[in-house]
Structure 1
Amino acid sequence: MLAGASGDAFAQEAEAEPAASRGLDMIVVTARKRVENLQDVASSVSALSAVELERRFDSDVRDFASSSPNVLIDDTQQGPGGVAAIYIRGIGVADVEKSVDPAVGVVIDDVYIGQSSGSLLKAIDIDRVEVLRGPQGTLFGRNATGGVINLSRSRPTEELTGKARITYGRFDTLKAEGVISFGLAENIALKVTGAYEKSDGYIYNRTQGRDGQSSRFWAFGAQLLFTPTEQLELSVSYDRQETKQDPSQLLSVTRPTDLFCTAYAQCSPSPGVPTSGDRYVSLGDGPLDRNAWFDLDMAIGKAKYDLGSDFDLTYILGYLKTDEGATQDWDGSPFTLYHTDRPARWRQTTHELRLAKGGNGPLSFVLGGYFWDSKYTIDLKNYIGFAGAPLLTSAQDVKQTTKSYAAFFEGDYKVTEQLKLTVGGRYTHDKKTSIVNDLPIYIYGTTVEADPIAVLEPSLAGGNIVMTDPVKKSWSKFTPKVSISYSWTDDVMTYALWSRGYRGGGFNGRPATFGAATIPYNPETLDNYEVGLKAELWDRRIRFNAAAYMMKYKDMQQDLDVPAPGTSTGRENRTINASKADLKGFEVDLTAKLSQNFTVSGNLGYLDAKYKDFMGDIYSTGTPIDASFLKIRRAPKWTWDLGATYEHDIGPGSFWITGAVHYVGAHEITFLNNPNLRNKGQYLVDGSVNYKINNTTLSVFGKNLANEKGWTIGYDVQGVWSYAAPRPPRIWGVALTQSF
């Protein structure tokens, strides 16, 4: 069996030991905002070397899911630019609204991305990826309940270095990307990156007789590194990304009792089959002229000063701005039943100051302060064709702000050479505001938005939302961490850990009633109890890490679709603190260098996730019931990955072949466990064949070679219709890589 470079997460490769040892290279990680050996970290962190990253064909964050057990990453295709659904140990969020805080943090170059849109960062110049499983409330703060995906890019170098890759693949996909570093003057280095990608996509629109997922993407970035003295290091970076694409082609998966089936004959031919009869064929009548866009600007500034005596002081400034818009067909039919226009804007600014102590003494620590400031606005417009009139439009303006202040500490103390105690904590204070206003409703006599036959003011349309001042709410939380580890030998360590995660409260971002707009939902908390083993065996040819955990959820936030009589759609989505949950399981990571030419790696995850004490009006009857029988979304019982790489010198160059099988067990993707939108177990097979001469590499690769067709998103509008989107089908391509 061929299996390929899979494993835990990706991290910088440290200097290798002499070849005579024939062992695995040491992996250095910065998961705890300090440089340390992966095997010395007393928590569940996964890592791979930079060399392995160079040999993969990752497109974006989704491709990192196979690197760690109990991790699922999908593009929900609910908006332009990629909307991430990232779940670790059954904890995550799959929602397009920026008012919904993520539950798994995505961090790039020490800056946290505070929204699901744009979190599927492209794999351009990624030098290190670390997957931290379990709550990371101490060092990463709120909204890292499930864990963190920590990404770092390469540092600029004064020496002339670079790499470029051009790829062509199925669906007329062309991608070019490159990075170059060089010195501008003594102690000044500049790095420049660029990328371009275009694709026809894998969805065909039968109604309009054309490809329905065309996209264009380009990116530019630059980073300047200045080291005026041996103690001081200054850097500043800027990135610009633009995406132009067709709006996502969602599929209608409508049951016989749903309104869109009984009234408009948009019925699924059989359970689990979209109305088109094919998961890669759409019937939507929305625009297909790449009129959806997603623009991203990001700037990061850092200053690091060596204070001496193993003390470092670091300041990090982060700024992120995104602008997006799409006219989206949500009903997936040839009719205008429910479409939206969603121009949205996001701004975030972060400041972090931290003092770190390293060295070989008994005490090492990180302490610091953090400030977050963000603003989100959306001018939503609904196009509704199932409310009696041929067409009516309703509009809603939403503006939300968040300010968050935090102080944190985490330190290690070596009680003896073998015994180490870790204690940490973070105090967070959040302040949020929200203002929502409904605009007039226009009713048209035809399906064309022209010459309305009636106009209803919001106050005449069922008492909808009119606000003159924003509502406000504050929350405070302390999230502690305690662990103890014992090194039995230089190569074997065990640990026990307790940590707490915290996801912020907030206000509903798409309400239909005044109560849903003004009544906040509260934060949720998660306590994680974990024991683990980290070992390197057989003269460091085998790396074996394992962990068992029990996590207890309190005030778990849930999104419910409920009736909203008298409103334009008759429905609304509410977030409530509805339940408790228990999540327990175990994880195993393994890498083995069986010979100088042959390496195998793999991981295994088991998860048992269950609701506890969950009362909610889940069927929109007006009466809450015990809903603990529901299965938690995106929480497969089993995940595993098995991969291998074989390499050998042939002729003037080197040859290697890789392959991997990544298994994702059966799991629910809808809150109500709709059987038509349930994913069966999936075997995702990837592989590549490569040949390198000097600094030039030619590769042929494939992804999802078994052509699994699972759903990446599923959503129920109870009694009306359901929509879904499929995972990308089998993809293959050829790549040419040049480094210098």
Structure 2
Amino acid sequence: MIDRVKHVSLLAVAAATVWPTTAVHAQDNGDAVQEDTPGGLNVIVVTARKREESMQDVPASISALSAEELDKRFDSDVRDFADSSPNIVIDDTQQGPGGVAAVYIRGIGVADVEKSVDPAVGVVFDDIYIGQSSGSLLRAIDIDRVEVLRGPQGTLFGRNATGGVINIARSRPTYDLSGKARLTYGRFDSWKIEGVASTGLTDNLAIKLSAAYEKSDGYIYNAFYDQPGQRSEFYALSGTLLFEPVDNLAIQLSYDHQKTEQDPPQLLAINRSTDLFCVVYNQCSPAPGVPTSGDRYVSISDGRLEKNATFKLDMAIGKATYEIGSDMQVDYIFGWLKTDEEINQDFDAAPLTLYHTDRPARWRQTTNELRLTKGGAGPLTFVLGGYHWDSRYTINLKNYIGFAGPPLLTSAQDVTQTNKSWAIYGEADYEIVDRLTLTLGARYTKDKKSSIVNDLPIFIYGTSVEQNPIATLPGAISMATPVRESWSKFTPRVSLRYEFTDDVMAYALWSRGYRGGGFNGRPSTIGAATIPYDPETLDNYEAGFKAELANGLVRLNGAVFLMKYDDMQQDLDVPAPGTSTGRENRTINASSAELKGFELDLTALPFDGFTLRGNLGYLDAEYKDFVGDIFSTGTPVDATFLDIRRAPKWTWSLGGTYETDIGENATAWVTGDIHYIGAHEITFLNNPNLRNDGQYLIDASINVRFDRTTVSLFGKNLADEDGWTIGYDVQGIWSYGAPRPRRTWGVALTQTF
């Protein structure tokens, strides 16, 4: 495998040396996200620093997909963007409705369904940060660009962007009538209908409307019920108004409504011979790494399958931009997000009720951001801003436990948490001398969180039916008032950029990020409910280069980095005697860690009509100081021998698109990509039965466009890799996991106007 990676690296270096250097200049066009360079690659304009600029001018590690590139892909949601960037892993944890994202950049991320656990990688949608993992697997037909920002983004994006940011932007409404519609049919009886249209209503008022409907039987079969086990339906409606009453003022308002109705995700039990579920209930894995069902795509769960899991999302965004002269502007951005979800899920993954949960949850967030930006060609450019965050989260959890007593025991817990936060930030570029630019940035953040937890009575039933309890016990946690805690953090950034030519530059930077502190979201004891954990911080030392070569035919970017973690938050499963399950999950500041590596990004036009894409990432991630009771024995041990989760040593992608005219007003193109994710751990304790080997994810499509109509045949995961996307250990009792989506193919008909 190392030899293969070395070969890819040599190809990238060769591409950088065989073509001579030339200039690529970006034009100043606020509405564009890419611009054509005659005979060369498109200039990609990004907003990674909250102002529009060429990706090649940004002194940081960024990968981006433009509207043109996205138009040729068949992305379902955020997961499909992982192949556009090195050192990134994105999965659906299958632990809740609507998609629960596990996004890891450079080995840093979170794979937890609880909304009390802040993300470590920020997902930003139309300038609005999504503050929870549920609903972060965003999908939309009119995505205009995707930017993957690697490394801590604490200055401009604030807390919970420790690993980086995935920045997604949609298209603006247009005054000319335009639009696109697509009908897709794929394997597993999957249908998707989506469309977007935009037009002007008056000379200064434009509207954009989009809608989508998707249904599928899913790729998991339920043998217990003898039917598809992962059926789903998805609906989405969106509307955007753009009002420009005067030349220097633009007001944009949008509203989105989405709803998912689905069967609860089908988890699989991977139980060792010593686990309780194997010893007592005969739910044993037939071989290491093989689920109790015998097949990674066959479930034997007895959980309900009536599309009883729902996820609703409503989001309102308001933006106002006022231009002050030719190079300064003021932006105000308002965001409101509400999600409501319900799910009754079988976590034991057995044909018995051993551990099921009912998890209705509600999330609300409101954000306000005001910023002043100065661009232009002067020696000084900057962005200054203020930010306010307000969120509230409530869950009414109910556990159905069949392994802790008579046939059935139920326990319920109500949790409400709030978070109020404000920040001021700024970042400025100053050209010290010709071609040498200093960047200074800083952010000060103040967080205040509260939590209240109350257990309801525990009922014990003599049968597996939830009626006529034979005994009742009091809950372990009773709180009359919330507990509160506050934290503040200063996150600076310093970088130097030197332009050797108009096309080649190098940079060095130091940046700091942090993830907020908080309260445990599923405690079993009063101590875990009331004692907060502290923020974690990450310092990133990075040096890189960006080059446009061969008359604009080659773009090669690279970086090396060293990241040092302090107070790293870890989730530990520990004993909780006297509680309903006898265990609880706690978040503690348990460790420090060091992550280092390098990244390369290549795009080239070797010959007319062919675009070559490639990236390569290397990551060495290890704990440096970690002492904890990881084995639940009551005795802390040195845990630095563990590997950090979702931190593959190697990741790379190699692909290309060949496009040619096949007649008058007719074009055809073929595209294909191989995305490699190296071997990595999925579980905290490195359970070998849930370890992933290296995976080759292969996607391809054949497309023909006649005037404005495109017919496409596509395939995804053509190698049929079945690696785990989630794994969790309940020590000594059972373990569960879920596999990545199976090989699929389909046909799509796209119409533009």
Q: What is the alpha-carbon distance in structure 1 between the residues aligned to residue 43 and residue 470 of structure 2? A: 72
Q: Is 2:729 aligned against 1:722? A: no
Q: Deviations over 1:260-286 (max 9, x none)?
A: 000000000000000000000001000
Q: CA deviation at 1:454?
A: 1.5
Q: Which residue of 2 aligns with 1:695?
A: 708
Q: Which residue of 2 aligns with 1:524?
A: 536
Q: CA deviation at 1:350?
A: 0.1
Q: Deviations over 1:597-650 (max 9, x none)?
A: 111110000000000110000000001000000000000000000001111111
Root-mean-square deviation (CA), in Å?
Answer: 1.2
Q: Which residue of 2 aligns with 1:438?
A: 455
Q: Is 2:17 aligned against 1:17? A: no
Q: CA deviation at 1:48?
A: 2.6
Q: Deviations over 1:143-164 (max 9, x none)?
A: 0000000000000011100000
Q: What is the alpha-carbon distance in structure 1 between the residues aligned to residue 326 and residue 671 of structure 2? A: 45
2:549 counterpart (537, 557, 565): 537
Q: What is the alpha-carbon distance in structure 1 between the residues aligned to residue 555 and residue 474 of structure 2? A: 66
1:71-82 pair list within 5 angstroms: 71-82=88-99
Q: Which residue of 1 aligns with 2:26?
A: none
2:717 counterpart (686, 693, 704): 704
Q: Is 2:749 aligned against 1:736? A: yes
Aligned to 1:138, the other structure's residue is in SS state coil
2:684 counterpart (671, 679, 701): 671
Q: Is 2:313 aligned against 1:296? A: yes
Q: CA deviation at 1:25?
A: 1.2
1:153 counterpart (147, 150, 170): 170
8 Å Cα contact 2:33-2:144 kept in structure 1: no
Q: What is the alpha-carbon distance in structure 2 between the residues aligned to residue 547 and residue 347 of structure 1? A: 38
Aligned to 1:119, the other structure's residue is in SS state coil
1:562 counterpart (559, 570, 574): 574
Q: Which residue of 2 aligns with 1:571?
A: 583
8 Å Cα contact 2:497-2:506 kept in structure 1: yes
Q: Which residue of 2 aligns with 1:461?
A: none
1:89-128 pair list within 5 angstroms: 89-128=106-145
Q: CA deviation at 1:523?
A: 0.1
Matched residue type, 1:17: T
Q: Is 2:523 aligned against 1:505? A: no
Q: Is 2:302 aligned against 1:282? A: no
Matched residue type, 1:249: Q
Aligned to 1:66, the other structure's residue is in SS state helix
Q: CA deviation at 1:17?
A: 2.6
Q: Which residue of 2 aligns with 1:608?
A: 620
Q: Which residue of 1 aligns with 2:259?
A: 242
Q: CA deviation at 1:15?
A: 2.4
Aligned to 1:506, the other structure's residue is in SS state coil
2:500 counterpart (475, 483, 488): 488
Q: What is the alpha-carbon distance in structure 2 between the residues aligned to residue 316 and residue 589 of structure 1? A: 32
Matched residue type, 1:474: S
8 Å Cα contact 1:427-1:479 kept in structure 2: yes
Q: What is the alpha-carbon distance in structure 2 between the residues aligned to residue 601 and residue 613 of structure 1? A: 39
Q: What is the alpha-carbon distance in structure 2 between the residues aligned to residue 628 and residue 357 of structure 1? A: 47
Q: What is the alpha-carbon distance in structure 1 between the residues aligned to residue 670 and residue 327 of structure 2? A: 44
Q: What is the alpha-carbon distance in structure 1 between the residues aligned to residue 277 and residue 462 of structure 2? A: 20
Q: Which residue of 1 aligns with 2:593?
A: 581
Matched residue type, 1:127: D
Q: Is 2:663 aligned against 1:651? A: yes
Task: Give me the TM-score of the superposition, normalised by structure 2.
Answer: 0.95
Q: CA deviation at 1:14?
A: 2.3
1:321 counterpart (333, 338, 357): 338
Q: What is the alpha-carbon distance in structure 2 between the residues aligned to residue 683 and residue 17 of structure 1? A: 34
Matched residue type, 1:571: R
Aligned to 2:493, the other structure's residue is in SS state strand
Q: What is the alpha-carbon distance in structure 2 between the residues aligned to residue 495 and residue 628 of structure 1? A: 33
Q: What is the alpha-carbon distance in structure 1 between the residues aligned to residue 330 and residue 267 of structure 2? A: 49
8 Å Cα contact 1:656-1:689 kept in structure 2: yes
8 Å Cα contact 1:641-1:662 kept in structure 2: yes
Q: CA deviation at 1:122?
A: 1.1
Q: CA deviation at 1:123?
A: 3.4
Aligned to 2:246, the other structure's residue is in SS state coil
Q: Is 2:80 aligned against 1:60? A: no
Q: CA deviation at 1:185?
A: 1.2
Q: What is the alpha-carbon distance in structure 2 between the residues aligned to residue 450 and residue 205 of structure 1? A: 28
Q: What is the alpha-carbon distance in structure 2 between the residues aligned to residue 197 and residue 503 of structure 1? A: 35
Q: What is the alpha-carbon distance in structure 2 between the residues aligned to residue 588 and residue 495 of structure 1? A: 15
Matched residue type, 2:282: A
Q: What is the alpha-carbon distance in structure 2 between the residues aligned to residue 14 and residue 687 of structure 1? A: 24
Q: What is the alpha-carbon distance in structure 2 between the residues aligned to residue 707 and residue 543 of structure 1? A: 32
Q: What is the alpha-carbon distance in structure 1 between the residues aligned to residue 672 and residue 326 of structure 2? A: 47
Q: Which residue of 2 aligns with 1:347?
A: 364
Q: Is 2:706 aligned against 1:686? A: no
8 Å Cα contact 2:92-2:725 kept in structure 1: yes
Q: CA deviation at 1:49?
A: 2.3
Aligned to 2:65, the other structure's residue is in SS state coil
Aligned to 1:375, the other structure's residue is in SS state strand
Q: Is 2:632 aligned against 1:632? A: no
Q: Deviations over 1:186-213 (max 9, x none)?
A: 1100000000000000111111111100
1:196-211 pair list within 5 angstroms: 196-211=213-228
Paired residues in the alignment total: 725
Q: What is the alpha-carbon distance in structure 2 between the residues aligned to residue 47 and residue 388 of structure 1? A: 54
Aligned to 1:691, the other structure's residue is in SS state strand
Identity %: 72
2:483 counterpart (449, 452, 471): 471
Q: What is the alpha-carbon distance in structure 2 between the residues aligned to residue 424 and residue 124 of structure 1? A: 35
Q: What is the alpha-carbon distance in structure 1 between the residues aligned to residue 633 and residue 43 of structure 2? A: 58
Task: Give me the TM-score of the superposition, normalised by structure 1.
Answer: 0.97
Q: What is the alpha-carbon distance in structure 1 between the residues aligned to residue 564 and residue 254 of structure 2? A: 40
Q: CA deviation at 1:309?
A: 4.6
8 Å Cα contact 1:135-1:526 kept in structure 2: yes
1:621 counterpart (633, 636, 644): 633
Q: What is the alpha-carbon distance in structure 2 between the residues aligned to residue 496 and residue 408 of structure 1? A: 21
Aligned to 1:62, the other structure's residue is in SS state helix
8 Å Cα contact 1:173-1:199 kept in structure 2: yes
Q: Is 2:324 aligned against 1:310? A: no
Q: CA deviation at 1:308?
A: 1.1
Structure 1's unaligned 5+ residue stretches are 4-10, 459-463
Q: What is the alpha-carbon distance in structure 1 between the residues aligned to residue 714 and residue 32 of structure 2? A: 24
Q: Which residue of 1 aligns with 2:435?
A: 418
Q: What is the alpha-carbon distance in structure 1 between the residues aligned to residue 44 and residue 378 of structure 2? A: 22
Aligned to 1:611, the other structure's residue is in SS state strand
Q: What is the alpha-carbon distance in structure 2 between the residues aligned to residue 580 and residue 453 of structure 1? A: 48
Q: Which residue of 1 aligns with 2:28?
A: none
8 Å Cα contact 1:168-1:175 kept in structure 2: yes
Q: CA deviation at 1:381?
A: 0.2
Q: What is the alpha-carbon distance in structure 2 between the residues aligned to residue 348 and residue 470 of structure 1? A: 19
Q: Is 2:592 aligned against 1:592? A: no
8 Å Cα contact 1:12-1:128 kept in structure 2: no
Aligned to 1:398, the other structure's residue is in SS state strand
Q: What is the alpha-carbon distance in structure 1 between the residues aligned to residue 738 and residue 326 of structure 2? A: 55
Q: Deviations over 1:107-147 (max 9, x none)?
A: 01100000000000013311111000000000000000000
